[in-house]
Amino acid sequence: MSRFRKTHSVLPGFGPALGYTIFYLSIIVLIPLSALVFKSATLTWPQFLAAVASPRVVASYRVTFGAALLAAGINALFGVLVAWVLVRYRFAGKRLFDALVDLPFALPTAVAGITLATVYSNNGWIGRHLEAHGIKVAFTPLGILVAMTFIGLPFVVRTVQPVLEELDAEIEEAAACLGANRFQTFWRVLFPTMLPAVLTGFALAFARAVGEYGSVIFIAGNMPMVSEITPLLIITKLEQYDYAGATAIASVMLVVSFFLLLTINLLQKWSRRFAE
């Protein structure tokens, strides 16, 4: 009789749990997004194209998505390195460095933007040395990349770090006993296991960078056609009471971000099958 005994869960059954889930997602996600689409639908097709495909708007797409993808790629590379050092090595001040990784989470975005603009300005601590070599960071597209990299790093580190902690060091020793060098051990043994986590961190860092506003506008320069990000253009439209134009641009960002994240998730699913 015990094998047919009904198990009781602390949470409610499938029906109520699914109902609560749909209700919560509708209030938090679906209804706001549907309002975005419905407001954009008040425009005619020529008006919609004029709002989302003007040269200034297209230039902002290029700056925003290009910098976000590049920043997420940089974080995917160096985030793995930071996570590796924090997991595999012991050194003085390790806990301090581990806590500093979460600083972009806790720091207000406006404070981060002002700090980065000050540090990388022509007379800043770092900017003055870069300026001597002809490299200008603050108030340029390069400053946007720096800000997006700053706010996206914790996503990769905190996603990859648990995976590295679960990897047994005996796997590396076994690979070395079989004649693999360090590069072969990393590329053929460790990296396939880490790849799903790296892609997840990449997607999270990209999504955060695309929607970032506070830390970017202070260091970007905000020059139309050069260093103007799309979220700033949306705010500008709202200040001009062009709500339909703002929601139209936001809808394009939503669609593009969705397809990019969908592609990354499909790659993540493929990488898991490859690792198995």
Q: Between 94-101 and 141-166, two packed helices, what is the crossing angle to 10 degrees?
A: 120
Separation of alpha carbons 177 and 189, rounded Å = 13
Which residue in the block uniquely carries the two structure tokens 């690979």? 175
CATH classification of 44-275, choosing from 3.40.50.720, 1.10.3720.10, 3.20.20.100, 3.90.79.10? 1.10.3720.10
Span 101-127, average pLDDT:
90
- pLDDT per residue as tens digits for the range 144-203: 999 999 999 999 999 999 998 888 777 877 887 878 888 888 888 888 888 888 988 998
Q: What pLDDT is recorded for position 6?
A: 53
C-beta separation of 155 from 219 below 8 A: no
Span 110-119, average pLDDT:
91
Q: What pLDDT is recorded for position 234?
A: 92
Q: What pLDDT is recorded for position 275?
A: 58
Q: Which tokens is 193 given?
A: 């296991």
Of 74 and 182, the one with more pLDDT:
74
- pLDDT per residue as tens digits for the range 212-269: 888 899 998 888 899 999 999 999 999 999 999 999 999 998 888 888 888 877 877 7
Annotate the chain with three-state secondary structure: CHHHCCCCCCCCCHHHHHHHHHHHHHHHHHHHHHHHHHHHCCCCHHHHHHHHCCHHHHHHHHHHHHHHHHHHHHHHHHHHHHHHHHHHCCCCCHHHHHHHHCHHHHCCHHHHHHHHHHHCCCCCCCHHHHHHCCCCCCCCHHHHHHHHHHHHHHHHHHHHHHHHHHCCHHHHHHHHHCCCCHHHHHHHHHHHHHHHHHHHHHHHHHHHHHCCCHHHHHHHCCCCCCCCCHHHHHHHHHHCCCHHHHHHHHHHHHHHHHHHHHHHHHHHHHHHHHHC
Q: What pLDDT is recorded for position 256?
A: 86
Q: What pLDDT is recorded for position 10?
A: 64
pLDDT confidence bin for 55, thresholds 50/70/90: very high
Span 25-39, average pLDDT:
86
Q: Which tokens is 228 given?
A: 């103007």
pLDDT confidence bin for 209, thresholds 50/70/90: very high
> How is the chain split into domains, by residue range?
8-41, 44-275
pTM of the model: 0.85
268 contacts: CB under 8 Å, gap ≥ 6: 195, 196, 199, 200, 203
Span 57-84, average pLDDT:
94
pLDDT confidence bin for 9, thresholds 50/70/90: low
Q: What pLDDT is recorded for position 74?
A: 96
